[in-house]
Amino acid sequence: MGQLKDKIYEKIQEHRPRVKALLADHGEKIISEVTVQQAIGGMRGVKALITDISYLDPYEGIRYRGFTLPELFTKLPKAENSDMPCVEGLIYLLLTGDIPTDEQVSNVRYTMLNRRMLPKYVYEVIDAFPNHSHPMAILSAAVMSLQRESLFNIKYHQGMSKLDYWDPTYEDAMNLLAKLPVLGAYIYNKLYKDGKSTYQDPTLDFGGNFASMIGQPSPYDDVARMYFIIHADHESGNVSAHAGHLVASSLSDVYFAISGMINGLAGPLHGLANQEVLRWIQELREKMGGKAPVREEMEKFVWDTLNNGQVIPGFGHAVLRKTDPRYTVQREFCLKQLPDDDLFQYVNMLYDVVPPILKKHGHAKNPWPNLDAQSGVIQWHYGVTQYDFYTVLFSIGRAIGVLSNIIWDRAIGYPIERPKSITTDMLEQIVGIK
């Protein structure tokens, strides 16, 4: 086994008895109750999933393996000639719970380098899509086409012990993770660069190689690293993470699960909100005929959107009750690197204007911005202006967390997911209406 896999195995051996003891000694202990409102309202706040990869506090925001984002940006080993951490270091952390050394990061990088190549048929699948297809649909199909490569499937049908499920799942996960930036870059070049060839640079890390494949010079390599890191995980109940976990719980392999994750992320209430923010701002820009809006004009635009029965993209959250720290990381990057950017001026004004309006509107439980409000601006500034593509970037990042979770789900042996549903009649009987 390689260094990373050995380490995961060691951690699994330590973790399995903890879950066994919880089940044996405290299996009947109540940790959450479900109200009518929660059953009707998308199970908000029901504690019924377990993950050790990340935890989302409503007021503090996300912690990966116990570390806040600012802590991670300080502690994780940096990419060569850069202040930004390597994505490979985050992969090590999410899988093991430990901050890696430089040597451990290099080892992950080397492990992944050998897995980047795409089989020829995947290019053909991508090429078969018409150019007006949404990049998320192409990405999902491209991942599905790779399913025939699953080692888990081969081993399963050879009769593998349950205790070993995590091992070929790890191999599948690392294979897919290494290929995702290549898939994303190939889709980008096909759709927006007249099919320019996607050259991979084996000397570059996960983020650096992605930037190079889509032809973006430095500092976009750091933007890519930051983007993949902040999008990696948001505990397990969000649609993309939950979809990935749910599909994998039936022992579908990671290709089926990540395609499911991508499909869930492609909704405008979730990952697609980053493209919606840009689309919405462009609408305002057109209305303004190039002139920068004053505060009153911006307020009117926000109210018009709400009065039209639409949501303000990039604001609100199902769990968070304050500004998303993923938003703050990107805002600080903008304030440092692109303070005068025209689009950033819009986002900056929205940061001031939207929360008081949402409070006055009185619907959203959280009037503060989420990560999607800020992420498109940075992409746009560095020349990635094709905003339909932004959720593909989100997908590459999110797969890191979802795949880490799936490896651990298999290691712990979490069963097939199967909550119970009831009918509206039954609900009315329970509350005494019938």
The tally of CA atoms less than 13 A away on the side-chain side of residue 283 is 12
What is the separation of C-alpha 231 from the centre of its chain, rounded to a whole number of angstroms? 4
> Any residues with CB less than 8 A from the CB of 155 and at least 6 apart, and which?
164, 167, 168
The reply on whether position 372 binds ligand CMX by CB under 6 A is: yes
DSSP state for residue 291 in the 8-state scheme: P
User: Restricting to residues 22-81, which ones interact with ligand CMX according to CB under 6 A?
Assistant: 44
Nearer to ligand CMX, 38 or 337 (CB): 38
The reply on whether position 7 binds ligand CMX by CB under 6 A is: no
CA distance readout (Å), 202 to 12, 40, 66, 81, 111: 31, 50, 32, 17, 12
**CB 38, min distance to ligand CMX, A:** 11
Nearer to ligand CMX, 46 or 306 (CB): 306
**CB 174, min distance to ligand CMX, A:** 25
The reply on whether position 179 binds ligand CMX by CB under 6 A is: no
The reply on whether position 269 binds ligand CMX by CB under 6 A is: yes
**CB 283, min distance to ligand CMX, A:** 15
Q: How many residues bind ligand CMX (CB under 6 A)?
A: 21
User: Restricting to residues 219-248, which ones interact with ligand CMX according to CB under 6 A?
Assistant: 238
Among 314, 325, 355, 401, binds ligand CMX (CB under 6 A): 314
What does the DSSP assignment read for 131-190? TTS-HHHHHHHHHHHGGGG-HHHHHHHH---GGGTHHHHHHHHHHHHHHHHHHHHHHHHH
The residues carrying an active-site annotation are: 270, 317, 372
Among 177, 273, 350, 393, binds ligand CMX (CB under 6 A): 273
The reply on whether position 113 binds ligand CMX by CB under 6 A is: no
Nearer to ligand CMX, 4 or 241 (CB): 241
Q: In what order do the strands lie in the sheet with 54-57?
A: 54-57, 61-64, 67-68
Nearer to ligand CMX, 171 or 372 (CB): 372
Distance CA 322, CA 114 (A): 42
Distance CA 136, CA 144 (A): 12
Distance CA 6, CA 4 (A): 5
B/e letters for 293-321, b = 16+ CB within 10 Å, e = fewer, are beeebbbebbeebbeeeebbbbbbbbbbe
**CB 308, min distance to ligand CMX, A:** 11
Of all residues in the shown chain, the one whose CB is closest to ligand CMX is 316
Among 7, 245, 270, 398, binds ligand CMX (CB under 6 A): 270
Nearer to ligand CMX, 69 or 113 (CB): 69
Interface residues with ligand CMX (CB under 6 A) are 44, 238, 269-271, 273, 306, 311-318, 363-366, 370, 372
